[in-house]
């Protein structure tokens, strides 16, 4: 009987070990992505990664709340890599201590220092300009600055989405970095006084409003212009505006980013690193540039022909970390001037 029990126990232990190994092997061929970036924007890269590596990519997409979800899941969170569509969400993940540092010479070689965290907790993936769009009912501005939006010449002529949207928070944070908090507050008050309507809609809605004569000037990310040019229903909106690169004679145009982090409790850490290194590679960055009309962070990768046609411009060289350091003050200023009310 004892011999039979020993044999049975050995078989059970062996089966358990084989089962655990099978589960581990299966997990080793997967990577779980939580994404704020819309599926159609990232699917081409993820599909290519799967084909190149054999690692299956599972994606959870959300418009908001991923930080709270990861916090609730705690140590049992399946998240390996988190993709964000702006710097505010990226730094929120870091502030909540939901990320872990990544040590990768491959990534560091592909992403310039001013576009990644000095402590390796976050990395930029793509860049976009916060452009000023102006109506073709007037001449194209020879030179225009963000600061000009507070001047009397634009009284009742500006449209914008909510000041509290991450894209605008990033811009306000950069204004603080360059001009100080007091001057930025005055600027916000001036821009608010020049609004043609209460802040509403998304970036594309502002360009539509220019075409409809609601306003003459708006703020908007660069890639939306390209997306509208490809959209049969929205091409007329894009055709009605000039795409302007602000602050070309001084600090350069404000740059926002999409980004990536490795989740704190990533269960598939090796595959997470593979994916992050792939997304910084020339191949993935070329897909980003071609399909999304964003500016690649990898300096070896050229912009798409569509984006190149918009012309060269001077970008604000200030490190993203220095801009993001002002994001809380930017949000406070927006509240204090009641920008959205």
Q: How confident is the model at residue 28 (pLDDT cuts 50, 70, 90)?
A: low
Residues 328 and 204 in one domain: yes
Report the pLDDT value the prediction gives residue 40, as an integer from 0 to 100: 86
- Average of per-residue pLDDT across 183-206: 98
R_g over Cα of the chain: 23
Residues 141 and 158 in one domain: yes
* Domain annotation covers residue 286: yes
pLDDT category at 14 given cuts 50, 70, 90 is very low
Same domain, 249 and 184: yes
Q: What is the pLDDT of residue 25?
A: 40
Distance CA 24, CA 20 (A): 6
Structure tokens at 79: 């998240």
**Whether residue 237 sits in one domain with residue 99:** no
- State the residue for tokens 């982090």: 261
pLDDT (average), residues 27-32: 81
Mean pLDDT of the chain: 92
Residue 168 domain-assigned (yes or no):
yes
The answer to whether residues 104 and 266 touch, using CB atoms and an 8 Å cutoff, is: no
pLDDT (tens digit, 9 = 90+) per residue, 281-291? 999 999 999 99
Residue 97 lies in a domain: yes
Task: Note the pLDDT tens digit of each residue in 214-271.
Answer: 999 999 999 999 999 999 999 999 999 999 999 999 999 999 999 999 999 999 999 9
Separation CA 100–CA 264 (nearest Å): 5
Is 18 among the domain residues? no
Average pLDDT for residues 90-108, to the nearest whole number? 97
In a domain, 55, yes or no: yes
What CATH number does residue 77 fall under?
Answer: 3.40.190.10
The reply to whether 2 falls in a domain is no
Angle made by CA atoms 296, 300, 303, in degrees to the nearest 5:
40
Mean pLDDT (whole number) for 170-197:
98
Distance, in Å, from the CA atom of 43 to the CA atom of 58, rounded to the nearest integer, reads: 11
321 in the same domain as 190: yes
Distance CA 160, CA 220 (A): 8
173 pLDDT above the threshold of 60: yes
Number of domains in the chain: 2
Asked if residue 215 belongs to a domain, the reply is: yes
Closest C-alpha among 147, 104, 135 to residue 122: 104
210 and 265 both lie in a single domain: no
Same domain, 52 and 105: yes
Q: Is 78 found in the same domain as 52?
A: yes
Residue 54: give the domain boundaries: 31-126+256-305
Q: What SS3 string covers the chain?
A: CHHHHHHHHHHHHHHHHHHHHHHHHHHHCEEEEEECCCHHHHHHHHHHHHHHHCCEEEEEECCCCHHHHHHHHHHHCCCCEEEECCHHHHHHHHHCCCEECCCCHHHHHHCCHHHECCCCCCEEEEEEEEEEEEECCCCCCCCCCHHHHHCHHHCCCEECCCCCCHHHHHHHHHHHHHHCHHHHHHHHHHHHHCECCCCCCCHHHHHHHHHCCCCCEEEEEHHHHHHHHHCCCCHHHHHCEEEECCCCCCCCECEEEEEEEEECCCCCHHHHHHHHHHHCCHHHHHHHHHHHCCEECCCCCCCCHHHHCCCCCCECCCCHHHHHCCHHHHHHHHHHCCCCC
Indicate whether 96 and 178 sit together in one domain. no
Question: Comparing C-alpha atoms, which of 204, 239, 247 is closest to residue 223?
Answer: 204
Q: Are residues 298 and 328 in the same domain?
A: no
Distance CA 148, CA 315 (A): 18
User: How far is residue 313's CA from residue 129's CA, in Å, rounded to a whole number?
Assistant: 10
Residues 250, 260: one domain? no
User: Are residues 273 and 108 in contact, defined by beta-carbon separation less than 8 angstroms?
Assistant: no
CA–CA distance, 104 with 262 (Å, rounded to integer):
12
Looking at the structure, do residues 224 and 320 belong to the same domain, yes or no? yes
Q: Is residue 149 part of a domain?
A: yes
Residue 122 CB burial class (10 angstroms; 0-12, 13-18, ≥19): buried
């Amino acid at each position: 009987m004892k011999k039979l029990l020993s044999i049975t126990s050995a078989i059970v232990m062996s089966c358990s070990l084989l089962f655990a190994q099978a589960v581990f092997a299966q997990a080793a061929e997967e990577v779980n992505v939580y994404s704020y970036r819309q599926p159609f924007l990232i699917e081409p890269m993820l599909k290519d990664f799967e084909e190149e590596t054999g690692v299956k990519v599972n994606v959870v997409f959300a418009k908001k709340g991923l930080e709270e979800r990861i916090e609730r899941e705690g140590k049992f969170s399946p998240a390996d890599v988190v993709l964000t569509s702006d710097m505010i969400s990226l730094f929120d993940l870091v502030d909540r201590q939901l990320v872990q540092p990544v040590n990768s010479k491959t990534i560091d070689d592909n992403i310039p220092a001013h576009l990644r965290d000095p402590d390796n907790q976050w990395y930029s993936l793509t860049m976009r300009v916060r452009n000023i769009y102006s109506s073709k009912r007037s001449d194209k501005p020879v030179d225009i600055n963000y600061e000009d939006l507070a001047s009397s010449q634009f009284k009742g002529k500006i449209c914008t989405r909510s000041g509290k949207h991450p894209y605008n928070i990033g811009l306000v944070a950069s204004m603080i970095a360059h001009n100080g908090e007091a001057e930025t507050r005055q600027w916000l008050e001036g821009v608010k006084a020049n609004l043609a309507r209460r802040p509403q809609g998304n970036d594309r809605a502002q360009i539509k409003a220019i075409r409809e004569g609601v306003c003459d000037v708006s703020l908007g990310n660069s890639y939306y212009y390209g997306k509208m040019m490809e959209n049969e229903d929205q091409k007329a909106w894009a055709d009605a505006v000039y795409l302007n690169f602000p602050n070309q004679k001084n600090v350069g145009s404000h740059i926002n980013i999409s980004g990536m982090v490795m989740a704190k409790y990533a269960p598939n850490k090796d595959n997470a690193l593979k994916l992050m290194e792939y997304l910084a590679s020339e191949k993935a960055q070329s897909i980003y540039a071609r399909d999304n009309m964003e500016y690649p962070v990898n300096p070896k990768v050229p912009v798409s022909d569509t984006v190149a046609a918009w012309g060269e411009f001077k970008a604000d060289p200030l490190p993203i970390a220095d801009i993001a350091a002002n994001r809380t003050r930017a949000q406070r200023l927006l509240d204090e001037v009641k920008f959205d009310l």
